[in-house]
Homo-oligomer: A and B are copies of this chain.
């Protein structure tokens, strides 16, 4: 009676596991609490209901995405950096479709941490373009444009399904960005 304590870290881990294994719709308080070995109502101490759980997952997923794309661009510079970034972004969306989908939900509560985490993703793009010698303003615009393009391609691929033809189309997208942004 009241013996099983919840580890907040494990809560996130289990929630991400649910989403990656069974999809975004399977993210319920019951599923996560069950995995933790507690009752559903026990989660209310750590999370603001179902919406809070969804925000938590979206936050963790966004942070995971940032880590992936950041390490991918760590070594490369210039055009290679954008290709590496694009490959890592796509790799994340494919390997973790549930996490990626959790990102697509509107943040109703106006979660500042989630907004900040999302900015971190764009920041990786900014660093790449700044490394090419662009001004801060130009880097920001280039980052937002290329992130939007990559993100949109992957959203469409996520909802519509994968196809072999997509590889060529994705390469064309990245090439179009390079050309359009005057990035060398």
- Residues of A bordering B, CB below 8 Å: 23, 97, 101, 103-107, 110, 115, 118, 141-142, 144-145, 147-156, 158-161, 168-169, 172-173, 175-182
* Option from B107, B145, B168, B182 in Cβ contact (under 8 Å) with A159: B107
Q: Which residue of B lies closest to A176 (CB)?
A: B180
Task: Assess the B144–A148 pair: CB atoms within 8 A.
Answer: no
CA distance A161 to B118 in the complex (A): 12
Residues of chain B lying within 8 A (CB to CB) of residue A161: 107, 110, 115
Q: Decide: A104 and B104 in contact? CB cutoff 8 A.
A: yes
A148 touches B141 (CB 8 A): no
Count of this chain's copies in the oligomeric assembly: 2
Which of chain B's residues has its CB closest to A177's CB?
A: B180
* B156 engages A147 (CB within 8 Å): yes
> CA separation between A179 and B160, bound complex, in Å?
28
A-B contact pairs, 27 of them (CB 8 A): A23-B106, A101-B106, A103-B159, A104-B104, A104-B155, A105-B159, A106-B159, A107-B160, A107-B161, A110-B161, A115-B160, A118-B160, A141-B172, A144-B169, A144-B173, A145-B149, A145-B173, A147-B152, A147-B156, A148-B150, A148-B156, A149-B149, A151-B152, A175-B180, A176-B181, A179-B180, A179-B182
Q: Which residues of B have CB within 8 Å of A97?
A: 106
Residues of chain B contacted by A158 (CB below 8 angstroms): 106
Top-3 shortest CB links A-B: A152-B152, A180-B180, A176-B180
The smallest C-beta distance from A138 to any residue of chain B, in angstroms, reads: 9
Q: Tell me the bound Cα distance from A173 to B141 in angstroms.
A: 8
